[in-house]
Chain A
Amino acid sequence: MIALLDCNNFYASCERVFRPDLIEKPVIVLSNNDGCVIARSDEVKKMGVKMGTPVFKIRDLIVKNNISVFSSNFALYGDISRRIMKILQNTVSDLEIYSIDEAFIDFIYKSDIEYESLNLVCKIMQWTGIPVSVGISTTKTLAKIANHFAKKISINNILFLDSEKIIDFYIKKIDVKDVWGIGYRYSNFLHDKGIFTAYDLIKRNDKWILDNMSINGLKTVYELRGIKCFELQTSELPKKNIRNSRTFSKDTNDYNKIKKAVSSFASKSAEKLRSQQCVTATIFVFINTNKYKSINENLKLNGKVNLKFSTNDTSVIISEALKILDEIYIPGYFYKQAGVIISDFSVVNQNQLGLFEDVSKKIKRDKLMGSLDYINSVMGNESIKLACEEFENGWRINQSNLSPAYTTRWNEILSVNI
């Protein structure tokens, strides 16, 4: 039996742990640049606010209903997540941390699964203040569905789908678009074909599914039929790509500004890459115009480069990213967003030296990068950086409603008047 444990409205719940005055009051959390809604308390969900709604569209609703608005505080959410995952690691043996607020658990002994689950829900609530739901079934895909309904209908936030009859009942109720692994990519296509629920889908034959939805689609269907295809990934794999992007606080047509932003993203990416002891061979850069403003057509520009020698050197990654930017940038437009994605990693020791690579220079650069990371880790992030990176924070993050980093910074811990 596999369980999916998922935190309820995670970011909103984290804010509430330190703000008891907001319990049972509407709360939303906004994306990195205060752009879109990325977490909603139950009260806000009931008002019909959808995930990803741009905040300017619900300004009136926020004022009218006195909704508390928070900028995303990832220092806090990351720490609370770490605590929850630690509790899980100490309680269950087979665990896959799937995202910041979700984990798959393999329950080997069937007899006391519901008791174990209830125990976890209570323990996490008491120790961290975060409400969680547990969906249990025979495969990961069915556990996801169980969790979906556990949040909606279960009184104790636990739903156990074991018998075929119960599984059938729920997969007849779930829209294919809400099935793990189907998503928006296939849902429109399936709706056109008259397939609306997960139950409709599993009644199709294997060949049809394989022809129309590839092997992964077929695996999903098997999982819906109760046949395990996706195993738990219990050991943490190194990240396959690193993405750094952000929406500008104000649309900009200033090339230098965009250049500095891209330099900073490239630098951040290089630092993350070194922290997982990898080198990258592919750099991808993109810039987008604003799709909500009609004066601009919605432009999505991007380009990538495959490097001759894999690297994790900040200055190399920055200069390659800027070359791409130079090629894709079209003057005259107002840009909303920019980003850098690096991929195609290999581990440092496995990375062979290029035949024509200057070895002594490489060793010196490695030392320089090591010192850079050390100084930044001791003196605080971004104490030193390359001159082409951004120094003022103007374009950076709009975070007008940021809560304190209650659990990670001494000068921001919870303060109580007694």
Chain B
Amino acid sequence: MKISISNMSFEIPFLKFTAHAGFPSPAEDFLEPSLNLNKYLIQNSAATFCVKVKGDSMAGSRITTGDILIVDRSLSPQNQNIILAILNGSFVVKKLLISNNDFYLLSDNKHVNQIKINSEMEFYVWGVVTYVIHKLSR
């Protein structure tokens, strides 16, 4: 059985087929729906989006090229969250640092790079990254 990420799933739990000959399956009455990755990865489907990343500036947070981020817009960003944000008209993925009412955006690789948000920047948070889908063998 395949676990499908999309909402459209056409698989049929095989135990549902009644046995025409022989013994009926003892599991028949206990059959449960198969695992649903949507349920695991998405808490709020109306506010959740998937985003693909290119680049390795967040490698320290285990986000690398080709990964898919699950982004939840309904969450309020907290200190140390990985966020998808708009900085001066472009999308960025950074770690948010809040200290003494100042906001900092951190890259997370060998060359840690820190940006302090000031009032001249156009900055807002698009959503909070909740999961990273990373394929191990490419």
A, B bound: yes
A316: min CB distance to chain B, Å:
28
A416-B51 contact given A127-B73, A378-B10, CB 8 Å threshold: yes
A406: min CB distance to chain B, Å:
8
A416-B49 contact given A20-B86, A126-B74, CB 8 Å threshold: no
Q: Which of A87, A410, A414 contacts B49 (CB 8 A)?
A: A414
A413-B55 contact given A20-B90, A129-B73, A378-B10, CB 8 Å threshold: no
Verify if A21 is at the interface (C-beta below 8 Å from B).
Answer: yes
Residues of A within 8 A of B84 (CB): 416
Closest residue of B by beta carbon distance from A88 = B46
Residues of A within 8 A of B96 (CB): none
Closest residue of B by beta carbon distance from A374 = B10
A416-B73 contact given A20-B86, A128-B47, CB 8 Å threshold: no
Verify if A377 is at the interface (C-beta below 8 Å from B).
Answer: yes
* Contact assessment for B53 and A418 in the assembled complex, using a CB-CB cutoff below 8 Å: yes
Residues of B within 8 A of A410 (CB): 50
A86-B53 contact given A20-B91, A418-B93, CB 8 Å threshold: no
A416-B46 contact given A20-B91, A21-B90, CB 8 Å threshold: no
Binary interface encoding of chain B residues 58-98 relative to chain A, with 1 for a CB under 8 A from any of its CBs, else 0 = 10000100001000011000000000101001111100000
Residues of B within 8 A of A126 (CB): 47, 73-74
Instruction: Count contacts on B: residues with CB < 8 A to the other chain.
Output: 28
Residues of B within 8 A of A417 (CB): 53-55, 91
* Contact assessment for A415 and B52 in the assembled complex, using a CB-CB cutoff below 8 Å: yes
* Contact assessment for A377 and B8 in the assembled complex, using a CB-CB cutoff below 8 Å: yes
* Contact assessment for B92 and A418 in the assembled complex, using a CB-CB cutoff below 8 Å: yes
Verify if B25 is at the interface (C-beta below 8 Å from A).
Answer: no
Verify if A407 is at the interface (C-beta below 8 Å from B).
Answer: yes
* Contact assessment for A413 and B52 in the assembled complex, using a CB-CB cutoff below 8 Å: yes
A416-B74 contact given A83-B46, A83-B47, A127-B47, CB 8 Å threshold: no
A414: min CB distance to chain B, Å:
5
A370: min CB distance to chain B, Å:
14
* Contact assessment for B51 and A413 in the assembled complex, using a CB-CB cutoff below 8 Å: yes
Alpha-carbon separation in the docked complex, A20 to B10 (Å): 37
Alpha-carbon separation in the docked complex, A218 to B78 (Å): 55
Alpha-carbon separation in the docked complex, A90 to B43 (Å): 14
* Contact assessment for A86 and B45 in the assembled complex, using a CB-CB cutoff below 8 Å: yes
* Contact assessment for B73 and A128 in the assembled complex, using a CB-CB cutoff below 8 Å: yes
Alpha-carbon separation in the docked complex, A407 to B10 (Å): 21
Binary interface encoding of chain A residues 17-35 relative to chain B, with 1 for a CB under 8 A from any of its CBs, else 0 = 0001101000000000000
Residues of B within 8 A of A23 (CB): 89
* Contact assessment for B47 and A416 in the assembled complex, using a CB-CB cutoff below 8 Å: no
A86-B46 contact given A129-B73, A417-B54, CB 8 Å threshold: yes
* Contact assessment for B54 and A418 in the assembled complex, using a CB-CB cutoff below 8 Å: yes
Closest residue of A by beta carbon distance from B73 = A127
A76: min CB distance to chain B, Å:
12
* Contact assessment for A20 and B46 in the assembled complex, using a CB-CB cutoff below 8 Å: no
Alpha-carbon separation in the docked complex, A87 to B58 (Å): 32
Closest residue of B by beta carbon distance from A377 = B8
Residues of A within 8 A of B57 (CB): 418
Alpha-carbon separation in the docked complex, A127 to B74 (Å): 5
* Contact assessment for A418 and B74 in the assembled complex, using a CB-CB cutoff below 8 Å: no
Residues of A within 8 A of B44 (CB): 127
Alpha-carbon separation in the docked complex, A17 to B93 (Å): 16
A344: min CB distance to chain B, Å:
31
Closest residue of A by beta carbon distance from B89 = A21
Residues of B within 8 A of A413 (CB): 49-52, 68
Alpha-carbon separation in the docked complex, A84 to B46 (Å): 7
Closest residue of A by beta carbon distance from B91 = A416
Closest residue of A by beta carbon distance from B58 = A418
* Contact assessment for B89 and A416 in the assembled complex, using a CB-CB cutoff below 8 Å: no
Alpha-carbon separation in the docked complex, A232 to B75 (Å): 32
Binary interface encoding of chain A residues 386-411 relative to chain B, with 1 for a CB under 8 A from any of its CBs, else 0 = 00000000000000000000110010
Closest residue of B by beta carbon distance from A406 = B49
Binary interface encoding of chain A residues 134-172 relative to chain B, with 1 for a CB under 8 A from any of its CBs, else 0 = 000000000000000000000000000000000000000
Closest residue of B by beta carbon distance from A126 = B73
Interface residues of A in 352-391 (CB under 8 A from B): 377-378
Closest residue of B by beta carbon distance from A21 = B89
Alpha-carbon separation in the docked complex, A87 to B44 (Å): 10
Q: Which of B10, B45, B54, B56 contacts A416 (CB 8 A)?
A: B54
B137: min CB distance to chain A, Å:
18
Closest residue of A by beta carbon distance from B92 = A418
Q: A20-B90, A418-B56, A418-B57 are in contact. List 8 more A-B contacts (CB 8 A).
A: A23-B89, A83-B45, A86-B45, A87-B47, A126-B47, A127-B47, A127-B74, A407-B49
A-B contact pairs, 18 of them (CB 8 A): A20-B89, A20-B90, A20-B91, A23-B89, A83-B46, A87-B47, A127-B73, A128-B46, A128-B73, A413-B49, A413-B51, A413-B52, A415-B51, A415-B53, A416-B93, A417-B55, A417-B91, A418-B93
Q: Which 4 A-B pairs have the closest CB atoms?
A: A127-B47, A20-B86, A418-B55, A83-B46
